[in-house]
Structure 1
Amino acid sequence: MEQGREAHCSAEETFTADYKMMMTLGQGHFSEVKLAFHIPTVSCVAVKILRNKKKYASLIKSEISIMKSLAHPNIIKLFHVVQTRETTYLVMEHASEGDLLHHVLELGALEESEARRLFTQIVHALKYCHDNLIIHRDIKANNILLDHRGNAKLCDFGLSTKVIPGQKLGHFCGTLHYCAPELFGKEAYDGCATDIWSLGVLLFFMVTGRFPFNDYSSVGVKQQILTADFRVPQHVSVDIRDLILKLLIINPYRRLTIGQIMRHPMVKSSKAHLPPTSTQLSQVPQALALSRP
């Protein structure tokens, strides 16, 4: 017991010596993300700080396990995990241009060429997850970060889960405006299909600057979702409109799959330009980067 306590203290001392915490980048129910300076490599990283409460233990374990298994240019990379008795620190790649939510709100809406490029990168990231039987469960503009090259990075796997083929999920999970209608029912649902619906909401938001379901009350939003009560503005291009309509379908079995989205004209014609390994990543030593299974 004493040895375990000493190990935790040693880990925290090393962590404190190597990292200088700076501004807060984001905050959740039981975590916060801070910008930190990694002194040995003279580089910036993002550190997610999780409180080790018993009721969150399985979520923390799952998030670490899933992030360790991910290696894709459009998914935020996990470098290192430091666990102390009270706190878990996830040291991750820092995307310096912030999140997609604020980027869209600043501009009012994205130019369609930019929306196509970023959306295609997000689709590539989600396809990688689904191919590896990982359901994200919280696809939203806040969870898409932009790196210094302006490329999209999917992040925050705190609600994610790994499934076996054919497995259905059974409880409400996600952010209201992005939630698929089946999440409000009592029956088990296909997690992949709920991620697809969230993609449809995200694409609508990217090209219009607003949500398709946006009533004044949460009850009203839920009712709009359950009836798919939305209208795509006339200025949206035909192929983008077609994709949105094929993603925001009430029946989850009629929605496009991630593979079908990849073959849709809007995505096929996009110049996604998957980013090369960034300069920042190359500065992080092998000792810091996690070994892959």
Structure 2
Amino acid sequence: MIGKTKGLKLQISSSISVKKRSSALNDNNVSKSNKFKLKEDDFQFICELGTGAGGTVHKVLHTPTNRIMAKKVIGFILGGDENEREKSEKGILRELKVLRSCESQYIVEFYGAFSNIGDISICMEYIDLGSFDKILKKLGTIPEDIVAKITVSVLKGLKYLYDEKNIVHRDIKPSNILLNSKGEVKIADFGVSKEIVNGTMARTFTGTQGYLAPERVCEGRIHSIESDIWSVGLTMMELATGRFPFPPEGHAPLPSILDLLKYIEMEPAPSLPTGKFSKNFENFVSRCLIKDPDQRPKPKDLLNDSFCIRVENESLAQWADDIKSNFIFSQDCGLPNQNKVVVDQAGVDALATCTEVPGTLRIQGESITSFKSLTNLKKIGLSLDIYTTGVTDLSGLENLQEIGELFFIHSNSKLVSLDALTSLHTATGGILIYDNAVLSSISGLSALTSINPNNLPIFEFGISIYRNPRLTTLKGLENLKSVGNLLRIESLDLIANLSGLPTQAGLTSKNVTLSDLKTLNDITALTNWRPVPGYNTGFELSKLKSLVDIKPLTNLANGPINNLIITSNSDINDISIFNNSTIVGPTVNVYDNGDLCNWPNGFKEKLQAIPGANVTDACGTGTGSPSADAAAEAAKSKSNGNFVTPTVYLAAIISLFFI
């Protein structure tokens, strides 16, 4: 199964004992053969294949042999009873040795295992078309003849495990049956991760609960080969019909897993819909789903069933080749709700056939020089993060239209422009463009019309552009119909005005940050912007060396303000636009503004009365002293309100995606 660690129980007491156990793995010859001497430093990460209850699976290159592998990483916690810990680890070693000894064309090949502090890595054959649950999502249903051939391979794999190795799988389901582009069907994950989690072999309540046989639900019997046969019947029904068999079609959904288990125990076994499939298939499924396990056949019996005999000599090679040619599989393009990290040019080029990356795509690496192979890419399901040192432009991304969450473009030392992004119309969470040393143009974003992080409750981003020293204009953002929750323009030495931002009436933002802009002298582009209805607005105007007139913010200031930061500005001399605002705090800092000599009557006292406010009359004292800047940061960091400094907030957001 492609899965992720969830509370695994292999417990290690110290780094010393970890090293001893790592040696034990090596001393016990866990590696498949002498040609695979496995250690972490010999693997090059390619991409994440999936995560779930059993661990995280990565596609990796074993560099000493130039072999692509699937590396499953299973974490464990520290501490616990030493005797129980050693007993559990001996069980793991025994189980891994069994895996090592398996040699069947119907079982995913095991290459070896090794441990690090905090986890164990199990290295296996990489199966390029992936698991049948993913294939089923692409196809909807699978033809009966194909299901029959899949069944034969699964039964032969189970027969081998049972007859030759005395192993029962315990978790047969579509996600544990894999297909390669040669048409070979293979069983994966027969109990290792479950063994690690549960400690004992077959008496534990293992397996995915929906696929459990009735005897495992109601009697807690030892898991037998007959229990695996029940799971085979459910799995083949699911592949043929496109839906999990419980509850039957037309039945009300079962509200909980307990209701499902009760249904499995108490209700009749499911059956194929009458008239849609052959009698042979109907009879085969009925044999698999006999509720009395003592009456249920074994794999060798079912292999002699007419449903299986008729496809014995058939091949799935052509069908697999058709799938490979006509569908984009998640192994190549990533998985929903997961990160796909690309670290070299080969990784970028491997995405050439992808029209969509359903999760997050992070492209980072010194060797990446071009995106020209990505012309098919139209959609990123979650976020896109581009961080390179060799890319000069984004040619290849001309057809990218939609980013489901955040768009990060940062720390690209040679990136000159975003001109290739001519089709991008949506970045739902916002755009963050920062620390790009030679970026001079973002005009390629002119198709961008939609930023709406209100639909994404964890986000408070909209537009954030900072520390791009060559950027001279914001042209490219003028067609946005919504801006989101934050406008942050900071540390752009060559920006003299905000032209390029949208100017139409009705634009809103919850927070506006204009900071460290040495040449900014015109903000009239913000004249028509308004507060977000029902929300307070936050303002930060700091270290502005040339700006005098802030009256274009009048409409934005026409509402409740939760935070007001006006600090270290050389020429701002009038802040009366805030005089009639309801300022509620908790952060109010107004100081070190050299020309701010005239205050509206009573306004300074009004601000000073807000608990925690730092408001002083700095008229004629100069601006931008280091102590003042430090005080501003300290004051903001102490705030427990809902205005967070953009740098701190950015770090928090990035951690949600990439840690």
TM-score normalised by length of structure 1: 0.81
Shift of 1:209: 1.0
SS at match of 2:113: strand
Change (3 A) 1:275 1:255: same
Is the aligned partner of 1:27 residue 2:56?
A: no
Bigger Rg over Cα: 2
- For 1:138, the aligned partner's letter is D
- Corresponding residue for 1:67? 99
Q: 1:148 aligns with which of 174, 177, 181?
A: 181
Deviations 1:256-281 (A, max 9, x none): 111110111111111356899xxxxx
Once the two structures are superposed, the pairs formed by residues 36-51 of structure 1 within 5 Å of their partners are 36-51=60-75
Residue 242 (structure 1) aligned with residue 297 (structure 2): no
Cα distance in 2 between the residues matched to 1:145 and 1:50: 20
CA gap of 1:8–1:200, structure 2 versus 1, over 3 A, is: closer
Tell me if the contact between 2:170 and 2:206 (Cα under 8 Å) persists in the aligned partners: yes
| Residue from 209, 213, 230 that aligns with 2:270 | 230
1:255 aligns with 2:296: yes
| In 2, Cα distance between equivalents of 1:274 and 1:124 | 15
8 A contact 1:81–1:88 mirrored in 2: yes
Give deviations 1:8-57, integer Å, cap 9, x for gaps.
Answer: 59x9xx73432111222122335211100122332311001122446664
Kindly tell me: are residues 273 and 195 of structure 1, through their superposed partners in 2, closer, same or farther at Cα, counting changes over 3 Å? same
**Alignment equivalent of 1:193, drawn from 216, 226, 237:** 226
After superposition, residues 52-201 of structure 1 pair within 5 angstroms as 52-53=76-77, 57=89, 60-131=92-163, 132-157=165-190, 158=192, 169-189=202-222, 191-201=224-234
Moved more, 91-100 or 54-63: 54-63
Aligned to 1:279: none
Question: What one-letter code is carried by the residue in structure 1 that aligns with 2:48?
Answer: T
The amino acid of 1:96's aligned partner reads D
One of 247, 254, 257 as aligned partner of 1:216? 254
The 1:6/1:64 distance shift into structure 2, 3 A limit, reads closer
Q: Distance in 2 between matches of 1:219 and 1:52?
A: 28
Q: Which residue of 2 aligns with 1:205?
A: 238
Higher relative contact order (CA 8 A, sep 6+): 1
Amino acid at match of 2:182: R
| 1:63 and 1:160 in contact (8 A); partners too | no
Could you tell me whether the CA contact under 8 Å between 2:129 and 2:181 is conserved in 1?
A: yes
Counterpart-to-counterpart distance in 2, 1:47 and 1:88: 10
- 2:306 matched to which residue of 1? 265
CA contact (8 A) 1:171 1:183 kept: no
* Cα 1:85–1:104 shift into 2, 3 Å: same
- Distance in 2, Cα, partners of 1:6 & 1:251: 47
**Cα distance change on mapping 1:243 and 1:159 into 2, 3 Å:** farther
Counterpart amino acid of 1:231?
A: S
Deviations 1:86-131 (A, max 9, x none): 3221111000001011112211111112111111111110110110
Q: SS at 1:116's partner residue? A: helix
Compared CA separation, residues 17 and 275, structure 1 to 2 (3 A): farther
| Counterparts in 2 of 1:7 and 1:251: CA distance versus 1, 3 Å | closer
Paired amino acid for 1:228: P
Matched AA of 2:169: H
State whether residues 55 and 74 of structure 2, in contact with CA within 8 Å, keep that contact through their aligned partners in structure 1: yes
Q: How far has the Cα of 1:237 moved from its partner? A: 1.2
Size of the aligned set, in residue pairs, is 268
What is the CA-CA distance between 1:6 and the residue it aligns to? 9.2
CA deviations over 1:149-196 (Å, ceiling 9, x no partner)? 1221100122677xxxxxx95342211221101112245345111111
> Of residues 36, 42, 49 in structure 2, which corresponds to 1:18?
42
Deviation for aligned residue 1:148: 2.1
- Name the amino acid aligned to 2:136: V
Superposed CA offset, 1:232-252 (max 9, x none):
112011111101011111111
Check whether the contact 1:30–1:51 (CA below 8 A) recurs between aligned residues: no
Q: Percent identity?
A: 24
In structure 2, what is the Cα distance between the partners aligned to 1:273 and 1:20? Answer: 37
For the residues of structure 2 that align with 1:250 and 1:242, how far apart are their CA atoms? 14
Distance 1:184 1:273 in 2: 37
Amino acid paired to 2:141: A
Give the 3 Å change call, closer, same or farther, for CA 178–107 of structure 1 in structure 2.
Answer: same
Deviation for aligned residue 1:7: 9.8
Counterpart position of 1:282: none
- One-letter amino acid matched to 2:158: L
Q: 1:3 to 1:177 in 2, by over 3 A?
A: closer
RMSD between aligned residues:
3.0
Letter in structure 2 aligned against 1:121:
S
Letter in 2 for 1:225: I
- Closer, same or farther: CA 213–85 of 1 in aligned 2, 3 Å: same
Q: Quick one: which amino acid aligns to residue 216 of structure 1?
A: L
C-alpha separation in 1, matches of 2:113 and 2:306: 41
Structure 2 letter corresponding to 1:251: D
Asked if the contact 1:119/1:203 (under 8 Å) is kept, the reply is yes
